[in-house]
């Protein structure tokens, strides 16, 4: 794969990542008015009130995805300038996977309670 194809694929990975994060935030905004005051977010805690948080906390999922995506994006740019061709794909693929899992979790939470 030549440099142009690598750069093009990296751009597509980054774009897919940011579109997925935007979709997460848009889903929260669209469903925000019909969500109950408290929603389950912390499934690792014991069942009951300990899992519940205010619905505004759902924005934590896209915010964490965005923070990880931006961090990996800047690291991949730095590594590209250093001549690395593999690690930028790993970083952007990792952040895309994180955003995808966050989106699935968010969809599960929202459609479970609405």
DSSP state letters, the chain: --HHHHHHHHHHHHHHHHHHHHHHHHHHHHHGGGS-SEEE--TTSPSSGGGEEEGGGGGHHHHHHHHHHHHHHHHHHHHHHTT-SSHHHHHHHHHHHHHHHHHHHHHHHHHHH-
Interval 30-77: pLDDT, tens: 999 999 999 999 888 898 899 999 999 999 999 999 999 999 999 999
pLDDT for 1 equals: 67
Q: Where are the domains of the chain?
A: 3-113
């Amino acid at each position: 794969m030549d440099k142009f194809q690598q750069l093009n694929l990296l751009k597509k990975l980054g774009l897919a990542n940011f579109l997925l994060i935007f979709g997460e935030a848009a889903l929260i905004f669209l469903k925000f008015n019909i969500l109950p005051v408290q929603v389950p977010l912390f499934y690792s805690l014991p069942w009951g009130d300990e899992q519940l948080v205010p619905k505004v906390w759902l924005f934590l999922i896209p915010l964490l995805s965005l923070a990880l995506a931006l961090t990996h994006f800047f690291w991949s740019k730095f590594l590209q300038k250093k001549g690395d061709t593999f690690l930028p794909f790993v970083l952007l693929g990792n952040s895309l996977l994180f955003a995808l899992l966050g989106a699935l979790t968010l969809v599960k939470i929202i459609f479970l309670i609405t």
